[in-house]
A and B are shown apart, each in its own frame.
Chain A
Amino acid sequence: MIARLSHASIYVLDQESAYDFYVNKLGFKVHTDAPMGPDMRWLTITPPEQPDLEITLMPIKAGLMYDQETADALTTLVKKGTFGFGVFECKDIYATYEELKAKGVEFKKEPTEEFYGVEALFKDDSGNWFSLSQKKEAPQS
């Protein structure tokens, strides 16, 4: 039986720029930063309160995983904002939204009431987008 998610990957256009975005703007922690040869680096980060979920910042590079044509196509799709990679939860979406906006993060959707809580959408420095959400508190029984 599958129990939990330990690793997930995000395709990024520039690993160093993505490091700055996720660590310095979003406040994620670096989990592993291991050199994998002269021009490769295994870089994983974790959400501030989820230290055991490693998110790999995966640069798009032609190689064994895919050829140049695929890498070019993937780059184009990421730049176009094709991929929505997930949902990040926060305790106070209005404060988080104001803070990220002040740090220059681009939002596609401002905090909006939904049936499950409040949601906003933001883009990372590559073009990937994420939902930022605050769940509605469960009614007191």
Chain B
Amino acid sequence: MSSEAYPKVYLYRRVVQAKLYIDEHFSEKLDLDAISDEAYFSKYHFLRLFKKIYGKTPYQYLMSVRMDRAKILLEQGNSVSEVCFLVGHDSLTSFTGLFKRKTGLSPSQFQKQHQVRKADQAQTPLKYVPNCFAEFNGWTENSNFEEVQD
């Protein structure tokens, strides 16, 4: 079946383009109404199709992208206030509250947890590798990997 033949291909392309636009511009002040206008002539129809495809409204999806990106930026060692503004939030208090509601941890607790895990992976990497793979690769005979730590 040709890609042009499947159901309402032009609608899918518009909604996917809107989703990719959010993925790229999540840190900006996005006018989701404008995205709807750009993507499809009926805002109601656009919102319905977006939610059917992604299980979230465009606004809920934007919030989830910001949350996912915040986790990555925290893991990379950025400060909580930097991350807050880098992902497009204006208020540190509301960002911290939202982050805790979504993950169960404050941003700083999340960052600390990641740092502990990362340090553990660097110091004792064999804990994370099934032994069969480690033995096949000869890693069990040379389990001191300290020279590769930062």
Q: A residues engaging B (CB < 8 A)?
A: 7, 32-38, 40, 42, 56, 63-65, 91-92, 94-95, 97-99, 102, 110-113
B114 to chain A, nearest CB (A): 11
Interface size class of B (residues with CB under 8 A): 20 to 34
Can you offer 5 A-B residue contacts whose CB atoms are under 8 A?
A: A32-B121, A34-B125, A37-B139, A37-B142, A56-B133
User: Complex Cα distance A42/B54, Å?
Assistant: 32
Whether B1 pairs with A94 at a CB distance below 8 angstroms is no
Whether A32 pairs with B128 at a CB distance below 8 angstroms is yes
A31 to chain B, nearest CB (A): 9
**Which A residue's beta carbon lies closest to that of B128?**
A32
User: Complex Cα distance A7/B132, Å?
Assistant: 12
Q: B residues engaging A (CB < 8 A)?
A: 1-3, 6-7, 9, 12-13, 15-17, 19-20, 52-55, 121-122, 125, 128-130, 133, 136-139, 142, 145, 147-149
**Which A residue's beta carbon lies closest to that of B136?**
A65
**Which A residue's beta carbon lies closest to that of B50?**
A95
Known: A110-B3, A112-B1. A95 touches B138 (CB 8 A): no
Whether B122 pairs with A36 at a CB distance below 8 angstroms is no
Whether A64 pairs with B137 at a CB distance below 8 angstroms is yes
**Which A residue's beta carbon lies closest to that of B122?**
A35
Q: Chain A binding site: helix, strand, loop or mixed by DSSP?
A: mixed
User: Complex Cα distance A92/B125, Å?
Assistant: 37
A28 to chain B, nearest CB (A): 12
User: Complex Cα distance A35/B13, Å?
Assistant: 40
Contacts of A40 in B (CB 8 A): 137, 139
Task: Give the residue of A7, A42, A102, A110 whose beta carbon is less than 8 angstroms from that of B1.
Answer: A110
Known: A32-B121, A42-B128. A102 touches B20 (CB 8 A): yes
